[in-house]
């Protein structure tokens, strides 16, 4: 492995945790996470700068590999040769997050769909890792074990482990001011736009939800009782605490199929694009199943005629249309089936496209169109998506479950009535999100089931008392979630704290007609009495009304804090930042951990795959590391506070000022070859940071150490930029997508010898 920061680097094998530190550090380290795709590649460039600067102030920076590849290897380490084993870094960080000393910088990671998981497994196998294939069918105990291990890796497996606190996510003042001074493009809206959201409203997860609050500590069991009385235990043991909110619900799949068929016909009749928007990563059990039903609904005749044959060949719509089409070549009547798909594609409504040039439709891959990123992008682009003709068009956005679909419909209606938002004048909607201790983790864990036979699903306690029950049919999707009382109490406290600090209204997005929300409203009203709320504006509104209230204030340039549950946190922290800033990657995301530590998240990774593809094709990485800059500054301030390290505080404060200069000087990656990319933006951040450190007066020793570097970088600016740009335009070999080769990726991401030598001089 390449030495990134001279002798300050201590490295192990790629698939093990890597440590970048100094011998004279004090206190608990900052943990910088290795993740995936573009954020991982950016780390090769940025982390050497971080480590070098931190070492001067005695700040210990370590790394942990929580990438998809790293987590797969950790899950199978006991079955791998000694040389291929890796510790479970995610479990280690999960334990650390529960301690007062935690200081974790968490970059975006892949929330893997099955196709992504299978691609990562194949890449690792090709690299020599003795990993088993993902079992498509569970027949034996071995299959069951392998499936359980892989299921522990897929989907949103990282965030619930690390988020031992609630979310405080907002646009820093410097970022907001930059967006106002340099407004991003917004598509114009027409009052006769035919774009709309279609949602079920009945027989869905929202309408079928039941919720209970636990009177005391207990242990629950989920079981299925068939019509003949046969009892099948779906989940043997769910420990719960007093005051915990436990929910259960199901989606009626027969009603879903009817709804989807109607929406295909509606899109055809209205002459708009058909699209579906799900969360097949976070809702890793339920939403892929729903996605499969959408694919089948769009091609009903093909699946009616060939469905059994496709299933027998292991070609499941759950994995997306692309997976099915790719596997047709193995079938004797492949051309016949292909013609059937083509005919229905031509006869149906136009499909929204992920990539019209390559024929990648909205239905190709479950993880390609994620609701929290795709809906804001559509709203920002005049309510349009791209059609198969390569042109924008109005769209019917199908969001089957009605829990939060009204949020997007309300924004669409507002834009239709009042036009596009103006980033130069619009207000902000920061978020306080309930997510601690896996709160409201609907669909992303082992409490979601596709029902095998008609009967009743029951949740019972140790006394055998039935707490929740639903009559279900074969194919229905049943799921449950838990929300502990302590995170709810902490969430209310954080909301009041942010309202007091900002003077902005705090709005709890809760619906008293929904079972879960009704229980939360009761708790919110109780816990608000424990705080001084005099002079504060605190409201409880259902999501549609909360959206309308926030939009009205946004158009007046006013800020409104959205206080939401976990899923809405995910949605809102993309929706409003994409409209305000053009991206959610520029948000400051702080998670004050309940036990006193800090988790600092660095933005969204939704565009990361395209960035990697561009790097490999033409050695240009457009990833914007602003989120990393913002998170690092807060992390350093926290480190200084906890460890009584004044130098760390200076590093954090000067980095914050340097980031402001970085924005004002417009040194984010440019959009095209010939300008600076991610690597160039890191150089300018290093330059401005060194300059701020050199002129600060709080620590003369640090100023003296950084003054020569500031002068050296400034003098070499033209040469460094030229070296960074010179490599553009040619293919880049990083040795792997999910697990890049350490030496190759480091060389690609650190092509300026002049910059590398300057950083090493520290």
Within this chain, do residues 622 and 532 fall inside the same structural domain, yes or no? Answer: no
- 584 is a domain residue: yes
Instruction: Tell which residue, 116, 97, 249, 163, has the closest CA to residue 569.
Output: 163
Within this chain, do residues 548 and 603 fall inside the same structural domain, yes or no? Answer: no
Within this chain, do residues 19 and 40 fall inside the same structural domain, yes or no? Answer: yes
Within this chain, do residues 244 and 256 fall inside the same structural domain, yes or no? Answer: no
- 171 is a domain residue: no
pLDDT of residue 610: 84
Q: Considering its fold, how many domains does the chain have in total?
A: 3
C-alpha radius of gyration, the chain, whole number = 26
pLDDT digits (tens, 9 = 90+) for 27-50: 589 999 999 999 999 999 999 999
With a pLDDT cut of 70, the percent of the chain lying above it is 95
**Cβ partners under 8 Å of residue 750, min gap 6:** 4, 44, 45, 48, 679, 756
- Among 555, 588, 621, identify where a domain stops: 588
Within this chain, do residues 344 and 276 fall inside the same structural domain, yes or no? Answer: yes
**Cβ partners under 8 Å of residue 9, min gap 6:** 3, 20, 51
pLDDT tier for residue 25 given thresholds of 50, 70 and 90: very low
pLDDT of 301 above 50: yes
Within this chain, do residues 630 and 739 fall inside the same structural domain, yes or no? Answer: yes
Instruction: Tell which residue, 762, 756, 664, has the closest CA to residue 719.
Output: 756
Within this chain, do residues 626 and 714 fall inside the same structural domain, yes or no? Answer: yes
Beta-carbon-side half-sphere exposure of residue 284 (alpha carbons within 13 Å): 24
Domain span at residue 358 reads 252-400
pLDDT of residue 13: 33
pLDDT of 85 above 60: yes
- 409 is a domain residue: no
- 187 is a domain residue: no
C-alpha–C-alpha distance, residues 655 and 614, integer Å: 29
- 699 is a domain residue: yes
Q: Would you say 397 and 378 are in contact if contact means Cβ atoms under 8 Å apart?
A: yes
Query: What φ, ψ does residue 219 adopt, rounded to 5°?
Result: -135, 120
- Among 552, 567, 588, identify where a domain stops: 588
- Among 541, 569, 588, identify where a domain stops: 588
- 184 is a domain residue: no
Within this chain, do residues 145 and 270 fall inside the same structural domain, yes or no? Answer: no
The lowest-confidence range among 7-16, 100-109, 509-518, 656-665 is: 7-16
pLDDT of 196 above 50: yes
- 369 is a domain residue: yes
- 583 is a domain residue: yes
- Going from the C-alpha of 740 to that of each of 63, 110, 380, 573, the distances in angstroms are 16, 15, 34, 30
pLDDT digits (tens, 9 = 90+) for 465-487: 999 999 999 999 999 999 999 99
Within this chain, do residues 560 and 661 fall inside the same structural domain, yes or no? Answer: no
Helix 717-726 / helix 700-715 crossing angle, nearest 10 deg: 60
Within this chain, do residues 521 and 604 fall inside the same structural domain, yes or no? Answer: no
Within this chain, do residues 235 and 347 fall inside the same structural domain, yes or no? Answer: no
**Neighbour count for residue 201 (Cβ, 10 Å):** 14
C-alpha–C-alpha distance, residues 667 and 684, integer Å: 7
pLDDT of residue 285: 86
pLDDT of residue 444: 62
Beta bridge partners of 222: 235, 459
Supply the pTM of this predicted model.
0.85
The lowest-confidence range among 470-479, 601-610, 741-750 is: 601-610
Q: What is the mean pLDDT of residues 162-170?
A: 92
Within this chain, do residues 271 and 226 fall inside the same structural domain, yes or no? Answer: no
pLDDT digits (tens, 9 = 90+) for 333-360: 999 999 999 999 999 999 999 999 899 9
- Going from the C-alpha of 618 to that of each of 526, 610, 733, 752, the distances in angstroms are 57, 12, 10, 17
pLDDT of 718 above 80: yes
């Amino acid at each position: 492995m390449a030495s990134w920061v001279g002798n300050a680097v201590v490295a192990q094998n790629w698939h093990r945790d890597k440590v970048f530190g100094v011998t004279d550090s004090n206190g608990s380290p900052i943990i910088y996470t290795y993740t995936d795709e573009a954020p991982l590649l950016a780390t090769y460039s940025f982390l050497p700068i971080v480590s070098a600067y931190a070492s001067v102030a005695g700040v210990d920076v370590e790394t942990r590999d929580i990438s998809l590849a790293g987590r797969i290897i950790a899950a199978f380490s006991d079955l791998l040769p000694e040389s291929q084993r890796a510790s479970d870094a995610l479990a280690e960080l999960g334990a650390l997050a529960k301690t007062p000393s935690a200081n974790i910088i968490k970059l975006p990671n892949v929330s893997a769909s099955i196709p992504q998981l299978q691609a990562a497994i194949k890449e690792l196998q090709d690299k020599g890792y003795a990993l088993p294939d993902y079992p498509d069918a569970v027949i034996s105990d071995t299959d069951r074990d392998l499936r359980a291990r892989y299921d522990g890796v897929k989907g949103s497996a990282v965030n619930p482990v690390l988020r031992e606190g609630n979310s405080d996510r907002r646009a820093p003042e410097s970022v907001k001011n930059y967006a106002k001074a340099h407004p991003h493009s917004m598509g114009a809206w027409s009052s006769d736009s035919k774009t709309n959201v279609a949602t079920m409203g009945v027989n869905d997860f929202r309408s079928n939800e039941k919720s209970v609050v636990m009177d005391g500590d207990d242990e629950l069991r989920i079981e299925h009782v068939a019509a003949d009385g046969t009892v099948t235990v779906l989940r043997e043991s769910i420990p719960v605490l007093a005051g915990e909110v436990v929910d259960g619900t199901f989606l009626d799949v027969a009603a879903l199929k009817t709804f989807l068929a109607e929406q295909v016909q509606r899109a055809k009749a209205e002459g708009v694009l058909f699209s579906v928007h799900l969360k097949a990563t976070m809702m890793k059990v339920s939403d892929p199943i729903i996605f499969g039903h959408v694919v089948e609904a769009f091609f009903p005749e093909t699946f009616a005629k060939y469905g059994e044959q496709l299933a027998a060949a292991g070609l499941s719509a759950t994995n997306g249309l692309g997976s099915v089409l790719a596997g047709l070549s193995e079938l004797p009547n492949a051309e016949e089936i292909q013609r059937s798909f083509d005919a229905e594609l031509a006869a149906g409504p136009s499909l929204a496209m992920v990539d019209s040039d390559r024929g990648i439709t909205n239905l190709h891959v479950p993880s390609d169109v994620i609701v929290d990123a795709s809906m804001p992008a559509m709203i920002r682009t005049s309510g349009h998506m791209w059609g198969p003709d390569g042109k924008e068009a109005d769209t019917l956005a199908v969001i089957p479950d009605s829990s939060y679909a009204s949020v997007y419909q309300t924004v669409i209606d507002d834009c239709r009535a009042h036009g596009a938002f103006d980033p130069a004048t619009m207000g902000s909607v920061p978020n306080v999100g309930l997510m601690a201790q896996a709160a409201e983790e609907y669909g992303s864990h082992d409490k979601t089931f596709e029902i095998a036979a008609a009967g009743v699903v029951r949740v019972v306690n140790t006394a055998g008392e039935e707490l929740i029950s639903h009559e279900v049919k074969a194919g229905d999707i049943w799921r449950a979630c838990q929300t502990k009382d302590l995170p709810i109490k902490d969430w209310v406290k954080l909301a009041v704290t942010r309202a007091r600090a900002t003077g902005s209204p705090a709005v709890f997005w809760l619906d008293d007609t929904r079972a879960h929300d009704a229980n939360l409203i009761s708790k919110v009203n109780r816990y608000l009495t424990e705080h001084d709320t005099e002079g504060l504006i605190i409201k409880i509104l259902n999501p549609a009304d909360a959206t309308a209230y926030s939009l009205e204030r946004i158009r007046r340039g006013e800020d409104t804090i959205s206080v939401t549950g976990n899923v809405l946190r995910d949605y809102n922290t993309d929706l409003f930042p994409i409209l305000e800033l053009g991206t959610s990657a520029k948000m400051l995301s702080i998670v004050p951990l309940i036990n006193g530590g800090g988790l600092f998240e660095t933005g969204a990774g939704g565009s990361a795959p395209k960035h990697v593809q561009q790097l490999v094709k033409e050695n240009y990485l457009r990833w914007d590391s602003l989120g990393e800059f913002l998170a690092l500054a807060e992390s350093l301030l926290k480190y200084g506070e906890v460890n009584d390290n004044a130098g760390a505080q200076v590093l954090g404060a000067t980095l914050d000022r340097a980031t402001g200069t970085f924005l004002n000087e417009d040194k984010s990656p440019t959009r095209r070859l010939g300008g600076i990319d991610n690597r160039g933006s890191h150089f300018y951040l290093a330059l401005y940071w060194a300059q701020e450190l050199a002129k600060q007066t709080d620590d003369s020793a640090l100023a003296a150490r950084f003054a020569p570097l500031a002068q050296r970088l400034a003098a070499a600016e033209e040469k460094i930029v030229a070296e960074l740009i010179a490599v553009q335009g040619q293919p880049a070999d990083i040795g792997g997508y999910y697990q890049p080769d350490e030496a190759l990726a480091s060389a690609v991401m650190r092509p300026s010898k002049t910059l590398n030598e300057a950083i090493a001089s520290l």
